[in-house]
């Protein structure tokens, strides 16, 4: 008979004791000398075996039996003893306290000395705590070090805070390549006219603005036009108002014919999708038109924030005329929820208000669907179309002061626990689930079909 036992708590405690006793005589076999500058040198005692199993750098160093191995000491240049002590405690105990003050130093150290798990931990911490004031500096550092996950996090953060970044000096530190990459994204959260003005200011600060012509004003405009041409062509002209187009057109920074064709495109009714497609195809070979007809997702959702989720919505709703017109009509965090008689999902629209004078309480739509991006079951994003025999029940509207809502999801006015799922009432269920089962009721948010709502948003088309 065999029984297996484990006492990881005792092991962790013993390793911590090994760390604290290393300064006693004969209790350590290696020294790390941290040289922060010419006057500050600190010797820290530790153990070869711990260093080698926790860092690929030290493992390789000891296996090669180089001078450091023979002398039982190593000099680490430009390393803070405070940071090394923090990392050393992590080596022995598996515990570390990462703060805003030490995160970058820990990331730099763990990256240089090949401590992959700590690179991941410190990188995740920095990603979660990015601030608009220094995100450009973090992006540049990440690119120089090859921290790909952090690069992506910085890029996504900048896209979400592009408008706020304009006013900061660090916007001028973005390189042309960085700006070009960012402007190609559909997720830039900024007004296109403001983007144009920010690019002009960036050009004045980053391009050689010394004119050769005696007419200085015209020469400077020409320098900006030529130097910024590949950035300005990424402005989504389609998202500009008529007044904004006139103002930009006057600057002569963008060819006049582009504005002319965008106005023609805007005059095509959104329902004539084939006509719109043929119109844009005429310019498919002209690089200048690569982006002008592509609308961005300009709606700041507290729920839908990740890039892949925006892309999924774009896949589900391929008609961009709908997506570009999505405007936030209501959110609980911004507007509260005033509902006297109970259930409310969504917000009143002209169409739903007109139902008050009719006998029907439903709005039907054969193309309606509900969807989940994140859910209690950890399933991937997916949509669930309206059931064929329930097309008439896409949206329900009460005669009382309730607003329109989906029967499958019931939210109550106090937003507290008690909201429920009737998933499957009108919309298709995931494979393997049945209507009114515990699994279907728990699908969106868990908790036996009842949950507390943290945020609710309604968008108008």
Q: Is residue 362 within 8 Å of 392, Cβ to Cβ? A: yes
Dist CA 69 CA 74 (whole Å): 8
Residue with tokens 């240049």: 77
pLDDT tens track for 60-78: 988 888 888 888 888 888 8
Q: Which of 81-95, 233-247, 435-449 has the lowest mean pLDDT?
A: 435-449
Rounded mean pLDDT, 111-117 = 91
Residue 81 has pLDDT above 80, yes or no: yes
**Assigned token pair, 303:** 């729920």
Q: Is residue 422 within 8 Å of 408, Cβ to Cβ? A: yes
Residue with tokens 């023979």: 70
Dist CA 303 CA 84 (whole Å): 39
Dist CA 77 CA 35 (whole Å): 5
Compute the Cα dihedral for 89, 91, 97, 100 and give only its sign.
Answer: positive
What radius of gyration, in Å, describes the C-alpha atoms of the chain?
Answer: 30
Supply the pLDDT for residue 372: 83
Q: Is residue 121 within 8 Å of 90, Cβ to Cβ? A: no
Dist CA 273 CA 269 (whole Å): 8
* Crossing angle for the helix pair 135-145 and 148-160, to the nearest 10 degrees: 150
More confident residue, 398 or 289: 289
Dist CA 236 CA 189 (whole Å): 12
3-state secondary structure of 15: helix
Residue 440 has pLDDT above 70, yes or no: yes
Question: How much is the pTM?
Answer: 0.69
> In 10 A of CB 87, how many CB atoms?
22
More confident residue, 352 or 446: 446
| Residue % of the chain over a pLDDT of 90 | 27
Residue 80 has pLDDT above 60, yes or no: yes
pLDDT tens track for 135-158: 999 999 999 999 999 999 999 899
348: left (phi over 0), alpha (psi -120 to 50) or beta: beta
**pLDDT tier for residue 121 given thresholds of 50, 70 and 90:** very high
Supply the pLDDT for residue 459: 65
CA nearest 74: which of 108, 100, 48? 48
3-state secondary structure of 384: strand
Dist CA 96 CA 88 (whole Å): 9
Topology of 8-95 in CATH?
Potassium Channel Kv1.1; Chain A (3.30.710)
Supply the pLDDT for residue 194: 94
Domain boundaries, the chain: 8-95, 161-289, 307-460
Q: What residues pair up with 372 in beta bridges, in sequence order?
A: 382
Rounded mean pLDDT, 247-255 = 92
More confident residue, 318 or 250: 250
**pLDDT tier for residue 349 given thresholds of 50, 70 and 90:** very low
> In 10 A of CB 360, how many CB atoms?
9
Dist CA 52 CA 49 (whole Å): 5
Residue 355 has pLDDT above 80, yes or no: no
**pLDDT tier for residue 122 given thresholds of 50, 70 and 90:** very high
pLDDT tens track for 391-427: 888 877 654 544 556 666 766 555 555 566 678 888 8
Compute the Cα dihedral for 311, 313, 318, 323 and give only its sign.
Answer: negative
Give a three-class secondary structure readout of 393-449.
HCEECCCCCCCCECCCEECCCCCCECEEECCCCCECCCCCCCCCCHHHHHCCCCHHH
Supply the pLDDT for residue 368: 84
CA nearest 326: which of 353, 354, 301? 301
Backbone angles phi, psi at 323, to 5 degrees: -60, -40
Q: What residues pair up with 43 in beta bridges, in sequence order?
A: 33
Report which secondary-structure segment, H or E, holds 46. strand 41-46
Dist CA 195 CA 184 (whole Å): 12
Residue 441 has pLDDT above 90, yes or no: no
> In 10 A of CB 117, how many CB atoms?
11
């Amino acid at each position: 008979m065999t029984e297996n036992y484990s006492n990881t708590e005792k092991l962790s405690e013993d390793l911590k004791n090994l760390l604290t006793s290393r300064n006693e005589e004969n209790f350590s076999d290696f020294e790390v000398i941290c040289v922060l500058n010419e006057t500050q040198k600190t010797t820290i005692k530790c153990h070869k075996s711990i260093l080698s199993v926790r860092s690929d750098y030290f493992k390789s160093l000891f296996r090669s039996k180089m001078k450091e191995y023979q002398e039982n000491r190593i000099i680490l240049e430009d390393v803070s003893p405070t940071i090394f002590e923090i990392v050393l405690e992590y080596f022995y105990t598996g515990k570390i306290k990462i703060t805003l003050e030490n995160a970058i130093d820990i990331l730099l150290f763990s990256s240089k000395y090949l401590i992959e798990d700590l690179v991941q931990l410190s990188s995740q911490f920095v990603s979660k705590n990015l601030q608009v004031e220094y995100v450009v500096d973090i992006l540049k550092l990440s690119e120089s070090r090859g921290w790909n996950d952090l690069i992506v996090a910085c890029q996504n953060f900048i896209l979400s805070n592009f408008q706020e970044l304009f006013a900061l000096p660090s916007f001028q530190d973005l390189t042309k390549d960085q700006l070009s990459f960012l402007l190609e994204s559909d997720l830039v959260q900024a007004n296109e006219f403001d983007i144009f003005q920010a690019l002009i200011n960036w050009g004045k600060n980053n391009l050689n603005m010394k004119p050769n012509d005696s007419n200085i004003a015209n020469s400077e405009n020409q320098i900006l036009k030529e130097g910024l041409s590949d950035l300005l062509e990424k402005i989504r002209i389609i998202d500009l108002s008529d007044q904004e187009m006139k103002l930009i057109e006057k600057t002569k920074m963008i060819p006049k014919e582009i504005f002319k064709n965008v106005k023609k495109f805007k005059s095509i009714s959104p329902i004539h999708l084939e006509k719109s497609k043929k119109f844009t195809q005429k310019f498919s070979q002209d690089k200048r038109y690569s982006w002008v007809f592509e609308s961005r997702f300009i709606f700041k959702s507290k729920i839908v924030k990740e890039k892949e989720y925006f892309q999924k919505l774009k896949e589900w709703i391929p008609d961009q005329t709908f997506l570009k017109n999505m405007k936030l009509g209501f959110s609980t965090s911004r507007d509260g929820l005033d509902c006297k008689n109970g259930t409310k999902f969504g917000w009143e629209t002209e169409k739903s208000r007109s139902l008050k004078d009719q006998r029907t309480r439903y709005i039907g739509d054969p193309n309606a669907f509900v969807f989940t991006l994140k859910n209690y079951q950890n399933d991937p994003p997916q949509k669930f179309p309206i059931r064929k025999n329930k097309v008439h029940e896409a949206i329900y509207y009460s005669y009382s002061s309730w607003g329109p809502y989906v029967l499958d999801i019931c939210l109550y006015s106090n937003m507290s626990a008690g909201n429920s799922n009737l998933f499957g009432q009108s919309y298709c269920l995931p494979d393997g689930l049945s209507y009114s089962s515990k699994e279907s009721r728990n699908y969106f948010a868990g908790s036996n079909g009842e949950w507390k709502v943290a945020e609710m948003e309604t968008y108008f088309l």
